[in-house]
Amino acid sequence: MAGLGEHITAMVRSHAAGDDAAFYSVALQVAAREARSGHHVLADDIRKTIDASRKSQPRLNVTGA
């Protein structure tokens, strides 16, 4: 399992690359890690923030044209 620093680094890299899917994937890994550590309120807050962000962002249909 990656350490928190590695998770943060991965999140920054995916954000910089515009890779929302990777960003959210790593953020969910952080939430899972916090839940396993007994930090359930923080884990729930992270998950709720991710869900709200996904709902508020418009979906782009990117084509090769």
Q: What is the pTM of this model?
A: 0.79
Helices (H), the chain: 4-16, 20-36, 40-56
* Domain parsing of the chain, residue ranges: 4-56
In tens digits, the chain (65 residues) has pLDDT values of 678 899 999 999 999 999 999 999 999 999 999 999 999 999 999 999 999 998 887 655 555 54
Query: Angle between the 20-36 and 40-56 helix axes, to the nearest 10 degrees?
Result: 160
